[in-house]
Copies of this chain bind each other. A is one copy, B any other.
Amino acid sequence: MGIDSYRSNCERCIHTHLCEGTAANEQIAGHRLRVRRHDSLYRVGESPGNRIYCIRSGSFKLVMQRPGDAEQVIAFAMAPDFLGLNTLGAAGHTASAVALEDSEVCVIDWDRQAFRGRRQPMQRNGLHALLAGEIRRAQQATLLLHHTHSRQRMADLVLNLSQAYHSNGYSARRFRLPMSRCDIASYIGVSAECVSRLIDQFRRKGMLQLHRRDLTLLDPDALQRTAAGVEN
């Protein structure tokens, strides 16, 4: 599986407010896992085992299985996103989490009292808020898919990624795509060829530059307008 466990270090984690305090965290969030590129953190159907994961570095794609062996990318996730929030009360994972690059996750045992927040109401609310936020996130994702034209969905994805990097302290203008063209195609619901053509189209219009997986946004406003569908 390419998975490798070691002790956690919670000092720089932004989610410590969900636990009891930085001191106790390393007992709660017992260990971390390394997941190598293209390996799965978990797969469809596997028992979730009351664990959730927090991405500390790297990125993942969430893949659902269609009847008839076809796969579908339903989300991308990067640090500090959580994985497995949707598993409580489910018999098995409804999606697989596949690492897009060598990644590290923090494992949190759902059953530990400390995380479930018996002591402080804030912790309990924090967990509820986390779950509610994940619902909004998923609903927001449907909004992307509801764009009529593929160029709108593509522009929307690029802007979403840009914002994700930005809110994690990286450049919003320049970043490296961790996913393949094929993954992008699956996620935005077009053929892989179409992704190529869309990128080329954006490049010719001076909206962005993309060499292999290195992306530079040149005209975010134009992308915004494209996503909104006010111009072609």
Seen from chain A, the residues whose Cβ lies within 8 Å of a Cβ on chain B are: 62, 64, 66-68, 72, 74-75, 85-90, 94-95, 116, 124-125, 127-136, 138-143, 145-146, 148, 186, 189, 228-230
Q: How far is the CA of A142 from the CA of B62 in the complex (A)?
A: 12
Question: A62: which B residues are within 8 A, CB to CB?
Answer: 139
CB pair A228–B66 under 8 Å, yes or no, is: yes
Q: How far is the CA of A127 from the CA of B125 in the complex (A)?
A: 12
Question: Shortest 5 CB-CB distances between A and B: which pairs?
Answer: A89-B129, A138-B138, A131-B131, A86-B135, A88-B132
Mind listing 13 A-B residue pairs with CB under 8 Å?
Answer: A64-B139, A74-B146, A87-B132, A88-B129, A88-B131, A95-B139, A128-B128, A131-B132, A135-B138, A138-B141, A141-B142, A142-B142, A145-B189
Q: Could you say how many copies of this chain the assembly holds?
A: 2
For A129, A135, A186, A230, the residue with the greatest tally of chain B CB atoms inside 10 Å of its CB is A135
Pick from B86, B128, B130: contact of A127, CB under 8 Å: B128
Question: A131: which B residues are within 8 A, CB to CB?
Answer: 88, 128, 131-132, 135
For A124, A133, A138, the residue with the greatest tally of chain B CB atoms inside 10 Å of its CB is A138
Q: How far is the CA of A186 from the CA of B88 in the complex (A)?
A: 31
CB pair B95–A133 under 8 Å, yes or no, is: no
CB pair B228–A68 under 8 Å, yes or no, is: yes
**How distant is A112 from chain B, measured CB to nearest CB, in Å?**
13
